[in-house]
A = this chain, B = another copy of it.
């Protein structure tokens, strides 16, 4: 099983709707497949130009390590050099904060990851989870 483009659209639409509903700043949302390749992305009007890279780096870290953004952020807080090492390995495509969320099916298989950026990292994760759940999938943030 994989994330279809139809489900990816639902994820993005619902994540952005969550952001509007909660009064968040303009968000950008990326959906990656299980190999960390981009399925879909949207950047809301008013977001800064560099948001694709940030969203992608959050989601890519989740896929590469099989961990949600919160766990990666904890590790980054504990070992300063961890972020440096991962940035080197993945050519900079690694952003170790919340807002990177794993997407699993009901059996726990990793189907992909979502990366959200634009508001606080905590809020970014809330929006990502809202999107994933709207698509009937399981979010691990």
CB neighbours of A136 from chain B (8 A) = none
The interface bits of chain A over 28-68 (1 if a CB of B lies within 8 angstroms of the residue's CB, else 0) are 00000111111111111101111111100100000111110
- Contact across chains for A95 and B91 when beta carbons are under 8 A apart: no
Interface size on A, residues (CB 8 A): 51
> Which secondary structure dominates chain A's binding surface?
mixed
A49-B35 contact given A89-B57, A92-B88, CB 8 Å threshold:
yes
* B residues near A96, Cβ cutoff 8 Å: 81, 85
A37 touching B38 by the CB < 8 A rule? no
Residues of B with C-beta under 8 A to A38: 41, 43, 52
- The docked-state distance in angstroms from the alpha carbon of A103 to that of B4 is 21
- Verify A64–B49 contact, CB threshold 8 A: yes
Q: How far is the CB of A68 from chain B (nearest CB, A)?
A: 12
